[in-house]
């Protein structure tokens, strides 16, 4: 624990739900400032209460609109809500348009709702590197439900499973046949399937394909067979609201299942292992890469490889050997 008065004050403010402090911390995490990591160390013991719900699916599938509708349902249940909405960073300029909250306008003035947009900043798994820690920040603020929305994702962007307790895969009719449904990746990670825009042609066929796909699964962990929820046209307001309420019920059922079967512990373990991986990457690999780049060594080894004087594996072994040796020597000195 810290006894630095500024750091204690920050922790107290975040636990009190102060949006300005929390949002600044999330920004510092995105910018990878060292002080932000110190803050995470301090808030870490105060996390672990929120139910984290992930939303993923193709661009335009309706994720943001669904999140918006789900906020309304959870607020009616008097639960506080945090939302982390991820949009893509340009690979050319590093810029981004963060537009998910255009669909969440109704909640902008509700102090019980904190929506934060994040850009991927080069991360490839459908999220941003800062998402894991941003979840911790919202959790420490006391948000009871945290919804994480991925970028418009395809088959492979499955990082969301490392950050959520309940994963909702949002599908729309007309995106492919039953072969798409049995492929690995996205279709395996759903705890709940949503067939969105189900008033469109092909919704019934999609539902049948999902059912046959699920029928091929021999055993569901914890006995949870992912339900298929259909959600109709947004402009058919009463029916839409009813559909979304059913989805919220399914989310609650899934959480109870996780707790009762002990699966929740598995998910927490999965997230922790991933966090250790990331932290080790930051602690070990990042400094090596920085040093190689800054010292000009990176240019030299690139040249050697291009001139076929060496190859990437030999170089990696050399570097690993050198740092392991240095590490050992440092330990001996200490």
Partner 1 sequence: MRKLRILIAKVGLDGHDRGAKSVAVGLRDAGMEVIYTGIRQTAEAVVSIAVQEDVDAIGISSLAGAHMTMFPKVVRLLQEKGAKDIQVFGGGIIPKNDITELNKMGVGKIFLPGTKISDVVAYLKEAFPN
Q: Does 19 interact with partner 1 (rule: CB under 8 A)?
A: yes
Least Cβ distance, residue 19 to partner 1 (angstroms): 6
Nearer to partner 1, 102 or 211 (CB): 102
Residue 48 touches partner 1, criterion: CB under 8 A: no
Q: How far is the CB of 45 from partner 1 (least distance, A)?
A: 24
The string of DSSP letters for 190-236 reads: -SEEEE-STTSTTHHHHHHHHHHHHHT-S--GGG-PPPEEE---TTS
Per-residue mark of binding to partner 1, 84-103 (x: CB under 8 A): -----xx--xxxxxxx-xx-
Given 10, 11, 14, 26, the residue binding partner 1 (CB under 8 A): 26
**CA 87 to chain centroid:** 12
Contact call for residue 145 and partner 1 (CB under 8 A): no
Q: Under the criterion CB under 8 A, does residue 35 sit at the interface with partner 1?
A: no
Nearest CA to 148 out of 159, 290, 317 is that of 159
Residue 119 engages partner 1 in binding (rule: CB under 8 A): yes
Does the footprint of partner 1 cover residue 74 (CB under 8 A)? no
Nearer to partner 1, 70 or 229 (CB): 70
Pick from 247, 227, 188: nearest CA to 62? 247
Residues in 121-140 at the binding interface with partner 1, rule: CB under 8 A: 121
**Under 8 Å CB-to-CB from 220, ≥6 apart: which residues?**
226
Helix (H) or strand (E) holding 52: strand 51-57
30 binds partner 1 (CB under 8 A): yes
Tell me the sheet residues that pair with 82: 114, 146
8 Å CB contact between 122 and 152: no
Q: Which is nearer to partner 1, 50 or 115 (CB)?
A: 115
Query: Could you say whether residue 23 binds partner 1 (CB under 8 A)?
Result: yes
3-state SS assignment for residue 272? helix
How far is residue 13's CA from residue 19's CA, in Å, rounded to a whole number?
9
Residue 113: Cβ within 10 Å count: 21
The smaller minimum CB distance to partner 1, of residues 85 and 210, is found at 85
End-to-end Cα distance, the chain = 25
- Does the footprint of partner 1 cover residue 116 (CB under 8 A)? yes
Under rule CB under 8 A, residue 114 binds partner 1: yes
Q: Least separation, in Å, of the C-beta of 251 and partner 1?
A: 23
Give yes or no for a contact between 165 and 269, defined as CB atoms under 8 angstroms apart.
Answer: no
- Does residue 9 touch partner 1 according to CB under 8 A? no
Contact set with partner 1 (CB under 8 A): 19-20, 23-24, 26-27, 30-31, 89-90, 93-99, 101-102, 105, 108-109, 114-117, 119, 121
């Amino acid at each position: 624990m810290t006894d630095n008065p500024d750091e204690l004050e920050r922790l107290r403010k975040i636990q009190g739900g102060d949006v300005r402090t929390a949002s600044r911390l999330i920004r510092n995490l995105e910018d990878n400032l060292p002080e932000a990591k110190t803050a995470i160390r301090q808030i870490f013991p105060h996390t672990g209460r929120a139910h984290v719900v992930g939303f993923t699916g193709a661009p335009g599938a309706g994720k943001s609109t669904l999140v918006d509708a789900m906020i309304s349902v959870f607020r009616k249940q008097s639960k506080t809500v945090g939302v982390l909405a991820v949009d893509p960073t340009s690979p050319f300029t590093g810029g981004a348009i963060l537009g998910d909250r255009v669909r969440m306008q109704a909640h902008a003035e509700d102090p019980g709702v904190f929506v934060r947009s994040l850009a991927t900043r080069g991360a490839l798994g459908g999220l941003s590197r800062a998402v894991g820690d941003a979840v911790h920040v919202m959790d420490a603020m006391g948000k009871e439900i945290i919804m994480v929305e991925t970028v418009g994702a395809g088959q492979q962007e499955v990082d969301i499973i490392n950050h959520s307790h309940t994963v909702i895969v949002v599908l729309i009719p007309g995106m492919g046949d039953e072969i798409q449904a049995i492929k690995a990746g996205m279709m395996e990670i759903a705890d709940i399937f949503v067939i969105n825009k189900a008033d469109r042609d092909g919704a019934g066929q999609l539902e049948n394909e999902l059912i046959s796909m699920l029928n091929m699964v021999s055993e569901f962990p914890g006995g949870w067979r992912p339900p298929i929820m259909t959600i109709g046209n947004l402009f058919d307001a009463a029916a839409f609201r009813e559909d979304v309420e059913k989805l919220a019920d399914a989310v609650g059922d899934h959480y109870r299942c996780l707790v009762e079967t002990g699966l929740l512990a598995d998910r927490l373990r999965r997230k922790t292992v991933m966090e250790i991986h990331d932290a080790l990457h930051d602690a070990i690999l990042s400094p090596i890469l920085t040093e190689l780049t800054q010292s000009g060594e990176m240019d030299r080894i690139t040249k050697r490889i291009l001139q076929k004087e060496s190859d990437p594996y030999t170089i990696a072994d050399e570097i690993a050997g050198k740092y392991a040796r240095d590490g050992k020597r440092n330990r001996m000195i200490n």
